[in-house]
Amino acid sequence: MGEVKKEDILDILAKYDKSEITIATLGSHTSLHILQGAKEEGFRTAIVCQKGREIPYQRFGVADEYIIVDEFKDIVNEDVQQKLRDMNAIVVPHGSFVAYAGLDNVEDKFNVPMFGNRDVLRWEAERDKERALLVEGDVRIPFKYDSPADIDRPVMVKFPGARGGRGYFVASSTEEFDAKIEAMKARGWLEDSDVEAAHIEEYVSGCNYCIHYFYSALDDTVELMGMDTRYESSIDGFVRMPAKDQLDIDLSPSYVVTGNHPAVIRESLLPQVFDMADKLVESAK
């Protein structure tokens, strides 16, 4: 629990003009979707955007108000917060919001009403906490290694935060793990602090579906909004090469997300999709 208390946020909300609510977010990640949805529901919208990155929102016409900042992290500055409160803003968080603003700042300094449960953001951002939620809910997940010295099969190595797959890699031994860590550090993609927080889990070969759920606390129901797969650089370009050419090239592919493909799962698998969602909701409660 952070220093921003529910009672203080309710006091701020009590002063809002409820007929002039503005839905606001940070100009990154899924902000186009958030603001377009808000406009379709009849709300005014606002975006906090880093200077030079406002063009997509202007072209798509999704924001009524713009707060331009030098850096995304400035959203927690008091002058920016006051502008949001003056707009009667409710901020919808997303992965980049947490990454740029910083969890500690969101929990301790961001005195603006937010959609959803502020306290659950840390459970989403920190992989060990996220894993604990899934384990508690009895959701099947890959085996986790506590140390690179224990690697005995192909593993996927991930790192904290919303980095879009940047720095992720596959390794099959401790030696390969160490070599790829050094390669990623040489690229400037990892720092020593990242390595200490590396999340190592078995590589499960299969089809990946990124499933979009929405839980309504009002109705106590889980909705399936859609799903996608990710288009990643450079692995997706690498696997388009014939196997012989892949073997001839000394390349350690990266897994940086650059886009999304809409996906439709087989209907016979949908019971599992809803079962996972229901288990996670119960665990989160």
Pick from 46-55, 105-114, 144-153, 179-188: least confident: 179-188
Q: Which residues contact 120 (CB under 8 A, 6 or more apart)?
A: 284
> Is 1 a residue whose pLDDT tops 90?
no
> Do 44 and 20 contact (CB within 8 A), yes or no?
yes
Q: How far is CA 100 from CA 16, 93, 207, 216, 266, in A?
A: 27, 11, 31, 27, 37
Question: Which amino acid, residue 281?
Answer: V
Q: Tokens 């009849």 identify what position?
A: 42
Domains of the chain, residue spans: 6-121, 126-285
Query: How many other CB atoms are found less than 10 A from the CB of residue 8?
Result: 11
Closest-CA residue to 111 (of 216, 214, 15, 45): 15
Map residue 97 onto helix, strand or coil: helix
Residue 142 to residue 186: CA distance in whole angstroms: 29
> Do 100 and 110 contact (CB within 8 A), yes or no?
no
Q: Please give the model's pTM, rounded to 2 decimal places.
A: 0.89
- For residue 264, what is the enclosing H or E element? none
Q: Pick the more confident residue, 151 or 247.
A: 151
What is the model's pLDDT at position 166? 82
Pick from 3-17, 42-56, 221-235, 242-256: least confident: 242-256
Six-digit token string for 177 = 């793990």
CATH code given to domain 6-121: 3.40.50.20
Q: What CATH class does 126-285 carry?
A: alpha beta
* 17-46: average pLDDT: 97
| pLDDT tens sequence across 129-144 | 999 999 999 999 999 9
> Is 257 a residue whose pLDDT tops 80?
yes
> Do 166 and 185 contact (CB within 8 A), yes or no?
no
Question: Which amino acid, residue 154?
Answer: P
- 105-134: b or e for each residue (b if 16 or more CB lie within 10 Å)? bbbebbbbbbeeebeebbbbbbbeebbebe
Residue 229 to residue 212: CA distance in whole angstroms: 11
> Do 230 and 257 contact (CB within 8 A), yes or no?
yes
Query: How many other CB atoms are found less than 10 A from the CB of residue 40?
Result: 8
